[in-house]
Chain A
Amino acid sequence: MGLDRHETARHSAAEGAVAIGQTDQLASGRKLRFAAFALIMFLVIPILLGRSPYFITVLTNGAVLSFISMGVWITFSIGRMNLAQGAFALVGGYAAAILSTRYGISFWLCLPVSGLVSAALGAIIGWPVLRLKGVYFAMTTLSLTEAIRLLALNGGDITKGATGIVNIPRPGPISIFGITILRFDGANPLPYYFLACTLLVLGILGVWRLSASRLGWVFRSLRQNEDLATSIGINVAKYRVMAFAICCFMGGIGGAFFAAFHQNIYPATYTIADSVNFMLYCFLGGLAYIFGPAVGAFLLVISFELLHAVQDYQTLIYGLLMIACMLWLPNGILSLGRIHFRQRKNLVS
């Protein structure tokens, strides 16, 4: 382990040179890799699997779950273990559902608004709660997931209680110059898939940018030593609320997407188990990597779809996997490919 830690450390030093904006040799390598990833997502997969609605749906799920988990990853970068992401996905989902069913607002407006609603709520709750650290923060956020579920359950006419909100309208078609490019109907999940990929790609780009900018470094400094950060004049409270709000924003967007995708939302759509899963994806992929949450989410989502037989035991296997991951692969799957993926590394424990 000692050896392992030193390796990680050295690479992060290399990373720093990029992040503080120097010769972009490493960065261009990353860009190339990222372009390849986007190409696969947008072209290769639809061509290969476009005819199988089933696989496309699975991948759509994977993409949006990755997106939501990336928010959790950001809260990890300020040194907080966030078990409330399910709650904020629920908030986003309900915001979208209420806005579209009650007020007939278009999905395309609902999507960002739901994200903002989640972010605003996250900022309000985060302000006091983020003063807690470690297990205290984890406990509180876990309770928060349950609290928001209860809120949805007792929301009366607004949330429709346990029956949830159903018949959420589908997104309107996207057209350019009068030509409809994507039509969101029930028959073909491909448009949803494209939307999900767009979210994911934007999410990765956004987090990447964040990570390399001074904001990313400020977040990292909070993770490593909040008192020291304060002493050099960093407004710790502001930045940790900012990080948490970004996280909730991503949760809200993801929740809104799924609400429109499934056309329904219930209080039980996101429970504690979901909050835990979002975190598991991050850990499984590797907290030190921007691609970590995506790798973790796709890996688990796809493998479960492939292994129909064991689906009943999903949580059992997740539990075992989590234990195994912590015991034998505490730095995540991507740490295995350290040499190849070294450039992607952005955050080190």
Chain B
Amino acid sequence: MYFEFKNVSVHYDKVQALQNVTLNLEQGEIVALIGANGAGKTSTLRAITALAKLSSGEIWFGGKRIDRLEPAAVVALGVSMVPEGRHVYPFMSVKDNLLMGAYLRRDKNDVKRDLDRVFMRFPRVRERLKQQAGSLSGGEQQMVVISRALMAKPKLLLLDEPSLGLAPMVVRDIARAIVEINRDEGISIILVEQNSRMALKISHRGYALETGRIALTGKSTDLLNDDHIRKLYLGA
């Protein structure tokens, strides 16, 4: 298994955020995590990037156990996370933002090549290169944040609510970009979304989390037709 969560539990203070969560991902897959706020989606991502400590369980990535590493070491292994809420560095230029994404990389020419690739994917980012990132619109910021994560040359990309607070039409642009990144560059993606319909449409498999546990899992196409899911998350 390329990436695996084995019986992971996470506590903040005394509150249990994750309870014996087991999930996995094959190389090249997009896996969606859906569920209400507080269900443990973000905690799952934070556990992967070592921003949250596990109280029990193991996390494996590419044949290595990563749950005891420092955040920087996890990033170095090729895990890149786009946190919720478009955290650009608001007072830095877009270019500096992108270069921060490549912080751990030494080969300058390689970084330059990747910059060009990012510009091909998001021409808008190139247009805004010299601007302070904080002055960009919501959709543009989301593109910058995803580009910044790509600059780290990740093998596994974690996206936390990329559609949050974006106009529905921008959401579609972002969704398309996610599909393309996965298809063109072969990057595996874990996608956390409130917008369950969009998430299940673009992912291969999905997990529904409820109060820190996995409530349901399966192929996304199946989940889209599941009665429970429809009632709880799709409102059909």
Cβ of B14 within 8 Å of any chain A Cβ, yes or no, is yes
Give A145 to B156 CA distance when docked, in angstroms: 56
Q: Is the interface of B mostly helix, strand, loop or mixed?
A: loop
Point out the residues of chain A lying under 8 angstroms from B12, CB to CB. Answer: 2
Chain A 231-276 residues near chain B, CB threshold 8 A: none
Total contacts A-B at CB 8 Å: 8
Give A298 to B12 CA distance when docked, in angstroms: 38
Chain B 1-59 residues near chain A, CB threshold 8 A: 12-14
Give A136 to B12 CA distance when docked, in angstroms: 31
Q: Nearest chain-A residue to B12 (Cβ)?
A: A2
Cβ of A214 within 8 Å of any chain B Cβ, yes or no, is no
Chain A 1-15 residues near chain B, CB threshold 8 A: 2-3, 5-6
Give A5 to B13 CA distance when docked, in angstroms: 9
Give A260 to B14 CA distance when docked, in angstroms: 54
Point out the residues of chain B lying under 8 angstroms from A3, CB to CB. Answer: 13-14
CB distance from B115 to the nearest CB of A (A): 38
Point out the residues of chain B lying under 8 angstroms from A2, CB to CB. Answer: 12-14
Q: Nearest chain-A residue to B13 (Cβ)?
A: A2
Chain B 56-74 residues near chain A, CB threshold 8 A: none
Chain A 23-39 residues near chain B, CB threshold 8 A: none
CB distance from B70 to the nearest CB of A (A): 20
Interface size on B, residues (CB 8 A): 3
Q: Nearest chain-B residue to A4 (Cβ)?
A: B13
CB distance from B230 to the nearest CB of A (A): 37
Give A3 to B13 CA distance when docked, in angstroms: 7
Point out the residues of chain B lying under 8 angstroms from A6, CB to CB. Answer: 13-14
Give A153 to B14 CA distance when docked, in angstroms: 55
Give A5 to B12 CA distance when docked, in angstroms: 12
Give A6 to B15 CA distance when docked, in angstroms: 11
Give A138 to B12 CA distance when docked, in angstroms: 31
Point out the residues of chain A lying under 8 angstroms from B13, CB to CB. Answer: 2-3, 5-6
Give A62 to B13 CA distance when docked, in angstroms: 38
Q: Nearest chain-B residue to A9 (Cβ)?
A: B13
Give A6 to B12 CA distance when docked, in angstroms: 12
CB distance from B15 to the nearest CB of A (A): 9
Q: Nearest chain-B residue to A1 (Cβ)?
A: B13
CB distance from A9 to the nearest CB of B (A): 10
CB distance from A7 to the nearest CB of B (A): 11
Give A2 to B13 CA distance when docked, in angstroms: 5
Q: Nearest chain-B residue to A5 (Cβ)?
A: B13
Give A62 to B230 CA distance when docked, in angstroms: 69
CB distance from A331 to the nearest CB of B (A): 16
Give A6 to B14 CA distance when docked, in angstroms: 8
Chain B 133-189 residues near chain A, CB threshold 8 A: none
Point out the residues of chain B lying under 8 angstroms from A5, CB to CB. Answer: 13
CB distance from A105 to the nearest CB of B (A): 57
Q: Nearest chain-B residue to A2 (Cβ)?
A: B13
Point out the residues of chain A lying under 8 angstroms from B14, CB to CB. Answer: 2-3, 6
Give A204 to B88 CA distance when docked, in angstroms: 50
Q: Nearest chain-A residue to B11 (Cβ)?
A: A2
CB distance from B204 to the nearest CB of A (A): 38
Give A3 to B12 CA distance when docked, in angstroms: 10
CB distance from B10 to the nearest CB of A (A): 13
Interface string of A78-111 (1 = CB under 8 A from B): 0000000000000000000000000000000000
CB distance from B171 to the nearest CB of A (A): 30
Give A6 to B11 CA distance when docked, in angstroms: 14
CB distance from A348 to the nearest CB of B (A): 15
Chain A 165-224 residues near chain B, CB threshold 8 A: none
Give A105 to B120 CA distance when docked, in angstroms: 84
Give A6 to B13 CA distance when docked, in angstroms: 8
CB distance from A145 to the nearest CB of B (A): 33
Give A5 to B15 CA distance when docked, in angstroms: 13
CB distance from B67 to the nearest CB of A (A): 20
Give A3 to B11 CA distance when docked, in angstroms: 12
Give A269 to B228 CA distance when docked, in angstroms: 74
Give A87 to B33 CA distance when docked, in angstroms: 58
Give A277 to B12 CA distance when docked, in angstroms: 35
Give A200 to B155 CA distance when docked, in angstroms: 66
Chain B 64-123 residues near chain A, CB threshold 8 A: none
CB distance from B16 to the nearest CB of A (A): 12
CB distance from B5 to the nearest CB of A (A): 23
CB distance from B108 to the nearest CB of A (A): 39
Q: CB within 8 Å of A: which residues of B?
A: 12-14
Cross-chain pairs A/B with CB under 8 angstroms, 8 sampled: A2-B12, A2-B13, A2-B14, A3-B13, A3-B14, A5-B13, A6-B13, A6-B14
Known: A2-B12, A2-B13, A2-B14. 5 other contacts (CB 8 A): A3-B13, A3-B14, A5-B13, A6-B13, A6-B14
Listed from nearest, the 5 A-B pairs whose CB atoms lie closest are A2-B13, A6-B14, A6-B13, A2-B14, A5-B13
